[in-house]
Homo-oligomer: A and B are copies of this chain.
């Protein structure tokens, strides 16, 4: 496994990577969710590249950029175990040199949900991913369904800007109690960790109700709210039942819908979602 620290070193190596090349962009502190993306890339591609970069431009001024967990040695060991071909670990001055001033923005898809509470977040995500697409030049790029809006935004960006690659979304990996795997789970103390299972439990209850015939979006949102309200350590940020493609809120579910939420457990903000239909 090659580990390169600069964009230029990656470019120098690119011609030695067999095509199709699969790419998994990450912010490190890797868990089984990330590794499942690497495995999907291996199944569908002849070589696999991973980036590890905690991207400052997607964090708001009051968010957890400094606190975001990092463990490069453990990450590289895990990726070595997955037989990744090359890992790019750039520093921020390489990606954002003095004078940097270009941004990629997706408009309507970035407005609702995470876009409301995290202004500028998606602009940071789309910009850094566009940069990585141009550096890595992959044939397929892999993202997790846990960040459902991010996946929708990046698929839109890739199509709109004609990137010559496929954006692939892989299922959310979960802990035994249903909690979606996330690097931010490490912020939780044992009591909070236990309480955090309420996110998926509430989504799952709503899904069961949907499957039994409940198509009223507001009833499903209310069902989720009630379950979250029953967990003293949890505070709901939002629950949404939106069209899976446009992310616009629904009254009645007639096509595939995204039931998604953000919940604070203490100071830790967790997100999760399920697809209905």
User: A116 in the interface, Cβ–Cβ < 8 Å?
Assistant: no
Asked whether A109 is an interface residue with its Cβ less than 8 Å from the other chain, the reply is yes
Q: B102 touching A162 by the CB < 8 A rule?
A: no
Q: Mark A97-116, 1 if CB is under 8 A from B, else 0.
A: 00111111111110000000
State the number of copies, please: 2
Are A156 and B104 in contact, with the CB atoms below 8 A? no
- List the one stretch of A131-139, A142-150, A235-243 in contact with chain B: A131-139
Task: Judge if A161 is at the interface, Cβ distance under 8 Å.
Answer: yes
**Once bound together, how far apart are the Cα atoms of A119 and B114, in whole Å?**
29
> In whole angstroms, what is the CA distance A161 to B134 when docked?
7
Distance in angstroms between the alpha carbons of A173 and B7 in the assembled complex: 36
Query: What is the total number of residues of chain A having a CB less than 8 Å from a CB of chain B?
Result: 27
Cα separation A163 to B132 with both chains bound (whole Å): 10
Residue A46 is within 8 A (CB to CB) of chain B in the complex: no
Decide: A135 near B162, CB < 8 A? Known: A102-B104, A104-B104: yes
Most buried by B among A101, A107, A137, A163: A101
Roughly how many angstroms separate A100 CA and B99 CA in the complex, as a whole number? 29
- Contact flags (1/0) for A79-104 with B, using CB distance below 8 Å? 00000000000000000000111111
Residue of B nearest to A131 (CB): B162
Contacts of A162 in B (CB 8 A): 7, 131, 134-135
| Cβ–Cβ contact A103 & B105, under 8 A | yes
Using an 8 Å CB-CB cutoff, how does the interface string of A145-172 with B read, 1 for contact, 0 for none? 0000000000011001111100000000
| Interface flag for A130 (CB, 8 Å) | yes
A198 to chain B, nearest CB (A): 34
- The smallest beta-carbon distance between A11 and chain B, in angstroms, is 7
Bound form: Cα–Cα A127–B106 in Å: 12
Pairwise interchain contact A104-B164, C-beta atoms closer than 8 A: no
Bound together, the chains give a CA A107 to CA B99 distance in angstroms of 10
- Residue from B7, B101, B130 in contact with A156 in the complex, judged by beta carbons closer than 8 Å: B101
Residues of B within 8 A of A163 (CB): 134
A130 contacts B164, C-beta separation under 8 Å: no
Identify which of residues 195-215 in chain A touch chain B, using a CB-to-CB cut-off of 8 Å: none
Among A134, A137, A160, A163: residue with most chain B CB under 10 A: A160
* Complex contacts, A131 vs chain B, CB 8 Å: 160-162
CB A269 to nearest CB in B, in angstroms, measures: 26
Q: B residues within 8 A CB of A130?
A: 161
Chain B residues, CB < 8 A from A100: 160
